[in-house]
Structure 1
């Protein structure tokens, strides 16, 4: 009934040594009783106590019981049928008809009673043999990796696997490693023509994923040429469907050749690049004449904006340092009186376009509420990193407006100023913001000239890091002088004093760049974009085949980057005037999934925002393309090499759809050789079984109950 093959117990020999005195003690206790009871009752009580003590010994010596079961598991053969569009390719080999004929022969052969049929493409599903002739052969991709993943945890006894396909992988990874782990031979039946035909294709495009606007970058194309030696073809290069360049190419005699292009992007952002070869007469397929890639174009220069409440020496020195770096585009807004500024610029535009904000003595008493709120919005809502120096003239009452976004807070106001010097420890010197060309940077920092600090009590926020503390008259204090803060995607740095220009003046004489390095290192740290966003939404790939299901994944975090599982997240997808909404579902740990089914080719834009309790946590957007190239029609040649390799490396054999003589006999032989049962071994830790513990307590309780009822002592 239970198919138990064997039972074993792993028990320490000391268990039996301890068992002897336990049994002897139990017999001794009930040899004579007061008052006297009959022999049968004494034996009953002895058994209760002995069994309870035996269970206690189990807990002490931790025995493990092993049980082996023999389960009959009849071998099963699995047949997988390629349901992708490529089966409909007309290459004069009758792909579809040969495939259906093979399935009919398999279902009527000697193996039919022990065989399960599946179709595969993008996904894998079980089908009946009769339904194969009704397959639409419309799967947009062929994914062998998903095929093997679907049977990874297959519980039945797999005798062999038969795969009927053209062997062309259009999605996923090469599955040979997965196949070898199956432990069953794989017989492949090739569908289609394996001979190479005249064809021209763009095999691959090599370029950097991130490149800079207004900076030339190289693009390398690998072109496959089969049968068109010394002919001329036209290559057209498009950016977001607009022609960038067109040139004629003379094809070499080799099967593959390289072509180098120069690309000069004008504007930042995500760009769709399309490379198209003109059609030549007699090509077996023109689908592979086109290649589409997406690239991210970055700003060519970091835009640093310096906002000052009034002119000062700190302002001049910081601007001078920033302007000396050719990779920066530096702008400034300097207030000189109420509603008067040194520069005649569009202040709102500069703030909106800035990558990093430097606030020097800002805000001052003359700063308007409009400008202050504009800066607050840029920091709070647009996550612009900021570097603030509490330079002379700053208005601390107005600074309270910015305080929630700063790395420090004002504990108490006080009058007067003090001269303070920086003090840095060896541990703090490990911070890259403090690096410079000084051989002994620690000593250099600790010997910088004094700067002026207002006597207000300023403290670092709990999530902030104190980079430099201060000292007065060489007495170190625990008070911060330079503080940094990184909270989610927000970054900020604060220097809690003014007259820091003195640091550059002193070190410049020794040709030390400690001031410049600190300013520029801070800017680079602040401008470094984190890979992880608070809300990240992505399609599983950039280019989908027509008819392929569009899958989105998303990650949602709060400001401290803890996963959020209960957010409301929808993704809006747009193509021209067509709009679609994808409802994203939480799968736990801040991860969300959603799918969209559309059958219209084109370039789609998507955007989404995550909300929790009515509050927006974050947003993300992007692009993807559907149907630009029908990937199933790109390679019309059966990949015989892949199918043969898959069979050989798993102990199977390769056949073709028009000649599979002997296949069913091999499968039957394999089924007979395959063991029709398997041994399942289970181990049970008796000492940790709560039911045995409960039984021991029950037995002790019963013994006590019967002793008391009999008046025994």
Structure 2
């Protein structure tokens, strides 16, 4: 149901000034048609006077930039969403008792008609349940709170409030607290689980670079958490492919936290499987969390970068400084000083020999055609590239590169405005890097200037950072990445990002440098031109968790092939499983596999193109000894309270069902006021307004001509 709430017309100037000028112009229209030559009828005089007055009033209105605001209130039947954690950790202890408590809660809430209850279960995925007879198995191998955000966004207009029944343990995805804060309805959290603290020692976290260079030393920082073993001794060991690299004896701290640091220097390139393990201590609640496995990609050689810029700028200086801070990077600069002069062009062949391109404000109006052709030829050969786009670009010239860019260029404009970055953490981690993904850091970065030209990501591209003005997300994203075939590209749709290197100097002094170096490493992974690629959605899995595999297949010209048959073989400890991958279009093939044992798995894909066998594509993954859900089953009460408070909701234990029901009913009553939507129309910016003035001028001229007044 729709109800008109308010209509308001506002002007950029003072209303009384407008009315005074309008009266004077109407009076002037009366005056100029008071006497006419030749004399005409009073009816024609009146018509001409009204037309001229309308012309003056409309022109004056355009000058005062009228804005029409219309407010509507929409009334829809809203629902209360109940989300139940269906993961394994819920049933780790007292499973029957907890299951009964959840079923009783659903039954009590469903009996209140005012709530219009809708029930969902969640873990790795979200499923809708019957509120009359909900079936919960508590067997989901992972808990992903981030998936709830999409559900809430799709249904936000019809949600009164939401209740989340969980133990607060997140085993997949990012912490969604920041996204929950933006919701327009309260979230009530209901704690269910084991709140007792167990005597245990665990590897809590491992911090490491995702990409490193062969022969270079990197730090692997390990956080060990314990309870009940103050002053006890254990040993932490670092392994590469099962081979011992280093070990350290540790005296467990009374604070419950120990931090140790391993130094790791890989000898050659490739994907390395590393793990950190603790020697078990008698009396531990579980030894399954005494080890943690992770993968690191080792790059073989020193990276040669050509830094090409359309003009000198602070952004160029900041990027160059960050690049030159890494001894594994060789930077050759091509900075356009004028149409005929390049700065620091010491080696004429250094652009041709570069393995990565950094294009900043390139091409510009001063960029010569020869340099454009040289850069375009490098990109066409598959050289990975970084590009930043701003008003310094010549968008007409940039259009020549559009085929290879990660975005489309629409509605070219020469205006810019300030925007704030809005990191998309899940996409950032899965499509780019695990380094520098802190929401808090990105929220505190200073604004940058973004062109008002419409930059739209291509379908195969990923948006890892969006642009926002205040809290409004813009259509043109800030950072886009693209990986297709053997080529990768990374784009920043802004200028003045050099300020990111200054703003974070106090709390995060290495943020900008690390961010730029991660871009280099990510781009460098393009590697050789591979026509056949196989990958998994991640590297570490829990027992029973689905493994999603993706293959990409291209011909010699790197056009996607959609008609091939790809046979997939998955091997582990002498056992082999055979699958046929399903084509998805655009050269993409997929398959899903559920391992029935733990250990290291090798996946090999084989296919033929025009009767010729392609070189097999391989990848590997590991299944850890125990479910992530069972490594630590203690209920996170503090986190559930934080989540509720961030949305103006409240936390309840599973026993406080009556208090929860009362709060949900109150929330439903408050939200019955409907949704107020406001539409604004800039009347001065509509072509029909100008068209009306032109029509009235033409009609007045026609009448004057018709009756001999001209």
Residue 86 of structure 1: which of 76, 84, 89 is its match?
89
Return the alpha-carbon distance in structure 1 between the equivalents of residues 70 and 213 of structure 2: 66
Work out whether residues 6 and 69 of structure 1, in 8 Å CA contact, stay in contact via their aligned partners in 2.
no
Shift of 1:167: 0.8
Q: 347, 351, 356: which is aligned to 1:485?
A: 351
Report the Cα offset of residue 222 of structure 1.
4.2
Does 1:645 pair with 2:670?
A: no
The answer for the alignment partner of 2:683 in structure 1 is 686
Unaligned 5+ segments in structure 2 are: 309-315, 325-338, 358-518, 528-532, 607-615
Pairing 1:47–2:42 present = no
Q: Aligned partners of 1:21, 1:295: CA distance in 2, in Å?
A: 78
Other structure's SS at 1:129 match: coil
For 2:224 and 2:57, how far apart are their aligned partners in 1?
Answer: 79
- Structure-2 separation of matches of 1:33 and 1:647: 77
Is the CA contact 1:190–1:656 (under 8 Å) kept in the aligned structure 2? yes
Q: 1:278 to 1:676 in 2, by over 3 A?
A: same
CA spacing shift, 1:140–1:43, aligned 2, 3 Å: farther
- Does 1:575 find its partner at 2:570? yes
When residues 283 and 125 of structure 1 are mapped into structure 2, their CA distance, relative to the original with a 3 A threshold, is same
Deviation at 1:3, TM superposition (A): 0.8
Task: Give 2:191's aligned residue.
Answer: 190
Match of 1:68 in 2: 71
Question: Quick check: 1:465–1:483 contact (8 Å CA) kept in 2?
Answer: no
Alignment partners' CA distance in 1, 2:622 and 2:76: 47
> CA shift at 1:535, angstroms?
3.9
Cα distance change, pair 289–29 in 1 and its aligned pair in 2 (3 A): same
* Residue 630 in structure 1 maps to residue 633 in structure 2: no
Q: CA deviation at 1:168?
A: 0.3
Shift in alpha-carbon separation, 1:532–1:98, aligned structure 2, 3 A: same
Q: Matched residues in 2 for 1:256 and 1:468: separation?
A: 52
Please list, as runs of the form range in 1=range in 2, the aligned pairs for 1:391-410 lying within 5 A after superposition: none
1:177 matched residue in structure 2? 178
- Is 1:547 aligned to 2:545, yes or no? yes
Tell me, yes or no, if the aligned pair for 1:540 and 1:553 is still in contact at 8 Å.
Answer: no
**Distance in 1 separating the partners of 2:5 and 2:95:** 58
**Residues of 2 paired with 1:51 and 1:674: CA distance?**
46
State the TM-score, normalized to the length of structure 1.
0.55
Alignment match of 2:103 (pick from 79, 82, 100): 100
In angstroms, what is the RMSD of aligned CA positions? 5.2
Per-residue deviation at 1:26? Answer: 3.3
Deviation at 1:287, TM superposition (A): 3.8
CA distance in 2, matches of 1:608, 1:530: 26
Equivalent of 2:123 in 121, 141, 145 = 121
Superposed CA deviations along residues 282-323 of structure 1, whole A, max 9, x for unmatched, are: 765454233101134566xxxxxxxxxxxxxxxxxxxxxxxx
Paired position in structure 2 for 1:112? 115
Shift of 1:75: 6.0
Matches within 5 A, 1:182-331: 182-206=183-207, 221-226=222-227, 238-241=239-242, 255-257=256-258, 267-276=268-277, 284-297=285-298
Does 2:61 correspond to 1:58?
A: yes
Residues 484 and 261 of structure 1: CA distance in aligned 2, closer, same or farther (over 3 Å): closer
Kindly indicate whether the alpha-carbon contact (under 8 Å) linking 1:463 and 1:487 is maintained by their aligned counterparts in 2. no
Aligned to 1:698: 695
Q: Report the Cα offset of residue 639 of structure 1.
A: 1.6
Q: Considering only CA atoms, is the larger Rg found in Structure 1 or Structure 2?
A: 1
Q: How far 1:642 moved relative to its partner? A: 1.6
| Distance of aligned partners of 1:705 and 1:130 in 2 relative to their CA distance in 1, 3 Å threshold | farther
- Give the aligned length: 493
Identify the residue that residue 655 of structure 1 maps to in structure 2. Answer: 652
SS at match of 2:350: strand
Q: Distance in 2 between matches of 1:169 and 1:139?
A: 12
Q: CA deviation at 1:107?
A: 0.9
Counterpart-to-counterpart distance in 1, 2:656 and 2:288 = 30
Shift of 1:146: 3.5
Separation of aligned partners in 2, 1:39 and 1:148: 69
Relative to 1, partners in 2 of residues 1:4 and 1:672: Cα closer, same or farther, differing over 3 Å? closer
Query: How far apart in 1 are the matches of 2:668 and 2:6?
Result: 24
- Alpha-carbon deviations, 1:230-271, whole Å to 9, x = none? 989897765335677899999888755567777675544321
3-state DSSP of counterpart to 1:662: helix
> 1:698: how far off?
3.0
Q: Distance in 2 between matches of 1:667 and 1:531?
A: 47
TM-score, with length taken from structure 2? 0.56
Query: Alpha-carbon deviations, 1:631-676, whole Å to 9, x = none?
Result: 1222222222222333345443322224423211122233334561
**What stretches of structure 1 of length at least 5 have no aligned partner?**
300-354, 357-383, 387-404, 408-426, 436-461, 470-480, 492-527, 587-591, 610-618
